[in-house]
Amino acid sequence: MNHKIKPFTFVIIPDTQDVCTLHPDKLRRMTNWIVEHKSEWNIKKILHLGDLVNNGAIIEEQWLNHDNAFSVIEESGIPYLIAIGNHDYDYQKENRDAFIFNKYTNKYGNKSWFGGSFEKNKAENIYTLLEVYGIKFIFLSLEFGPRDEVLAWANEVLNKHSDYFAIVITHSYLYPNALRTRPGNRHNPKNYKWTYGANDGEDMWHKCIKKHKNILAVFSGHHINYHVSYRFDRGDYGNIIFQAFQNWQFTQYGGEARIRLLYFNICDQEIKLSTFNPQTETFEEDDGYALTLSFNLNEGLKEDNLDKIFANVLDPQIEKHMW
C-alpha cells in the first residue's frame, strides 16, 4: 500500500433545477463552497447528475442562473462532468434536442481531461479521464434513458479503458426503493414519448454496467419524493458495483443545493460517502445519508460491502402512489 497517497474527494451534485430557478443565491453559495474548500478536501472532480434547470429552452434565465453559479467552478480549474436531465432538453415533450444544454455546458473540448463524445460537439454522452496520484479514473456521462447505440458506444469506451476505475453518471437509474428503474416505476425514461429508444436502469445494468470489471459506481437522481437509496451488486466478473440514488429537490429551498462528498482514503482502504448542506455548512446524518465502503486498489470494492443496502421505500402500496 502506498502510504504517500493523500485522501481526495469527488463532489456529486444531484438535481439543482428548483434551487437554480427559485433560489440562485443558494446555488452560487454551493459552488463557492466547493471552490473555497478545494484544497481542504483535495477536490479532484465534480459530477452533476442532471436537471440543471426546469424549463429547457423555454426560460433562458434559468440557464443564466446556472452559468453564473458554475462559472466559479470553470474558473477554479476543477475538472467536472455534467449529465443531462429530462428537464434540460429543449422542449421535453417533442424530441431529444438539447441545443441550449450544449450552449451552456459543452465546454469540454479544450480540456486536457476530455476523453470523447458519442456525437461530435454534443455533451449528452461524453467521458473524461483523470489521474490522481497515479490512480487512473474514467468518468462516463450517459443521456436520460440512453439508447442502445449509446450503450454500445459506452461499452466500447469502457473496454478501451479497462485499466481505469470507472464511475458512471446518468439522470435516472436507481429508484428510491433501491431497485433499478423498470417498467411500472413512475418517471421511468420509457414513459416519456419523446425519449425514443430509451433504456431504463435495469436495461442499463444488463446491457452495459454489469459487463465491466472496472466500474466502481453508478450515481443518479431524478426520482422523488424520497432522497437517498443505494445497493451493491456483483458484475459478470465477480466485481462489486455500488449504485446510488440521491435527490433533495422537493425539500425546503429546492434542496438547498445539497451535495455528496465521495472521499477516497486509499491508505485506510476505504471510501466515505457523506451528505453536506452548503447553506448550513453541516454534514447531515439522516438514515442512508452517510456510509463507508471498503476499497483497495487491487480488488476495487471489497466483499463486506455486499451486506449494505438502503431503501427509502419498501411498501408496494406506497410505491404505487409515488410521484
Tens digit of each residue's pLDDT (9 = 90 or more) over 295-308:
999 989 998 888 78
| 101 compared with 299, residue with greater pLDDT | 101
Note the pLDDT of residue 319: 53
Note the pLDDT of residue 242: 97
pLDDT at 318 over 60: no
pLDDT at 193 over 70: yes
Strand partners, 154: none
Q: What is the pTM of this model?
A: 0.95
At residue 4 the predicted structure's pLDDT band, cuts being 50, 70 and 90, is confident
CA 226 to chain centre: 17
Per DSSP, 200 falls in state -
Note the pLDDT of residue 321: 46
Segments in the chain forming alpha helices (H): 17-22, 24-36, 60-76, 99-105, 148-160, 201-207, 316-320
Note the pLDDT of residue 314: 54
Note the pLDDT of residue 317: 52
Note the pLDDT of residue 81: 98
Q: Which whole number is the average pLDDT over 263-280?
A: 97
Note the pLDDT of residue 307: 76
